[in-house]
Structure 1
Amino acid sequence: MKTASKLGTLYLVPNTLGDDARSAQLPHVMPIETMRCASQLTHWIVEDAKTARALLKSMDSLAPLTCSIQEMQMTEWRGAARNAKYGDKIKPEALLEPLLRGIDIGLMSEAGVPGVADPGAELVWAAHRLGACVKPLIGPSSLLLALMASGLNGQRFAFQGYLPQDGGERTACLKQLESQSRKLQQTQLWIETPYRNAAMMASCLQALAPQTYLCLALDLSLPTEEIRSMALADWKKLFASEAASAALQNRPCVFLLLAH
């Protein structure tokens, strides 16, 4: 077995949390050392090639790329199950083959940090099995930003990913999370597809107790960022008008609750 010193390194490269004006965002959300490190990589595994190219193009003016984007080797990976759905049966180990030749690889998700709410974890685990070095680079994480700004329990928390889409199942899941939060004094975090935000909020207003704290963290790190934490009773007053629900739609959001 090769030693880690002879293998390439898998770099976990953060992405911005929004698509617009990446060049303007980067100095505020990405350390220059992260960009300099990313700019030297020629081999990439990405969730979405279009998004990855857009980020690298924006980085180029701050940390010049070592080669053109066209010369880079870039492969898309959305997780084993999802890739197989589209007829791609390539295994993580095959994607990491350049590491065996001493070539460094960058792993990038569509937004935020790789491996967190992201299929990249499978590739990171495969790199560990190979004995390769895994290097996480500093950048924006919507989950940590939301937790920091929520005022809820940052000592004990759990991320639940996406909740069920079915209305009844979603309501039952929210009640279960509320019960668990109350029992453990644990903040519960989850995300939703932006166009379903209003439906998620309606379920929260229906399922959760008036005294439960709920935080909505919208458009994190963007100029339109909005973060608000209130008890459910206060959220119900705010959402008495349809305009409040409309304001949630199509905006990336992290939901957090803490029950008492």
Structure 2
Amino acid sequence: METALYLIPVTLGDTPHERVLPEYNREVVRGIRHFIVENLRTARRFLKRADPAIDIDALHFSELNKHTPPEAVAAMLSPLAEGQPVGVLSEAGCPAVADPGADVVAVAQRKGLRVVPLVGPSSILLAVMASGFNGQRFAFHGYLPIEVDRRTRRIKELEARIYAEDETQLFIETPYRNERLLEEIVRTCRPSTRLCVAANVTCADEFIRTRPVKEWAHKAPDLSHRPTIFALYK
């Protein structure tokens, strides 16, 4: 197996692996003994589901999250110097996209190491695909401000970009605050601005709908504890 940093997508929720991940990904996983992961428990569970025959206790894991000091990131790539491949696993979806895995990828690129991205589900791209919005110009903004006044201003700024730049705007929220954010969008945006809500994408209870903002006031789904992408467009 080629020595490289492999970016290994995981499922979004408990979606069956065979529905969203190529068989090639399993082959790569079987050849790796060193993993950089966002969440140890989630990573171990994913790997065991990917291949029940894997000896989890024989693997080496390094956790990379918002609490990891920068000086520790480069050390996680040391197996590559010994000719051993390293895998990166996010907590959900594609590593290094809205994910701390980007930090270790940046180090690998600076060192001239080979980086191999594998195919898998990205809730951001899947939401764009299903929204009916502009897929040639779009921007993902991550989390909006928590403080109400700042969040309202930010929503207005993003809505203005839709009309000024013809650009789809995407963002997320902590799942338990999803419904509060939806209410804020309804109060803040033009009634005719379109909003796509994409929750639990690829999962059994997937919900993806696009409607004018004015219609969401009376058709709000239950979004509590459901990972959701919000997308705005004209």
Q: TM tier, shorter chain?
A: over 0.9
Aligned pairs for 1:1-260 (under 5 A) are 8-18=3-13, 20=14, 25-61=16-52, 64-65=53-54, 68-79=55-66, 82-84=67-69, 90-239=71-220, 244=221, 247-259=222-234
TM-score (structure 2 length as normaliser): 0.96
1:102 shift after superposition: 1.1
Q: Alignment partner of 1:17: what SS? A: coil
Amino acid at match of 1:251: R
Alignment RMSD: 1.4
**Matches of 1:15 and 1:111, distance apart in 2:** 6
Contact 2:35-2:89 within 8 A present in 1 as well: yes
Is the CA contact 1:98–1:104 (under 8 Å) kept in the aligned structure 2?
yes
Aligned AA (2:45): A
Where does residue 3 of structure 1 map in the other structure? Answer: none
The DSSP-based 3-state class of the residue aligned with 1:118 is coil
1:127 offset after TM fit, Å? 0.5
What are the ranges of 5 or more consecutive residues in structure 1 without an aligned counterpart? 1-6
Displacement of 1:30 in angstroms is 0.5
Contact 2:9/2:90 (CA < 8 Å) preserved in 1?
Answer: yes
Q: 1:101 offset after TM fit, Å?
A: 1.2
* Residue identity opposite 1:228 in structure 2: R
Once the two structures are TM-superposed, the CA of residue 90 in structure 1 deviates from its matched residue by: 3.9
Q: Residues 12-40 of structure 1: CA distance to partner in whole angstroms, max 9, x if unpaired? A: 0001111x3x5xx1010100011111121
Which string of whole-angstrom CA distances, capped at 9 and with x for unpartnered residues, describes residues 188-244 of structure 1? 0111110000111011011100010100001101010010001111112324xxxx4
**After TM superposition, what 4+ stretches of structure 1 lie above 3 angstroms from structure 2?**
none
Q: Is the 8 A contact 2:183 2:217 kept in 1?
A: no
The AA in structure 2 aligned to 1:185 is D
Q: Is the CA contact 1:215–1:229 (under 8 Å) kept in the aligned structure 2?
A: yes
Contact 1:39/1:56 (<8 A) preserved: no
The answer for unaligned runs of 5 or more in structure 2 is none
Instruction: Please say if residues 218 and 226 of structure 1, whose CA atoms lie closer than 8 Å, have aligned partners that are also in contact.
Output: yes
Amino acid aligned to 2:233: L
Cα distance in 2 for residues equivalent to 1:57 and 1:238:
39
Secondary structure of 1:165's counterpart equals coil
| Identical-pair percentage | 42
Q: Is the 8 A contact 1:39 1:59 kept in 2?
A: no
1:100-135 C-alpha deviation (Å, 9 max, x unpaired): 111110001100001101011110010111111000
CA distances 1:51-101 after superposition (whole Å, capped 9, x unpaired): 00000000114xx54xx110101010014xx224xxxx6432111111111
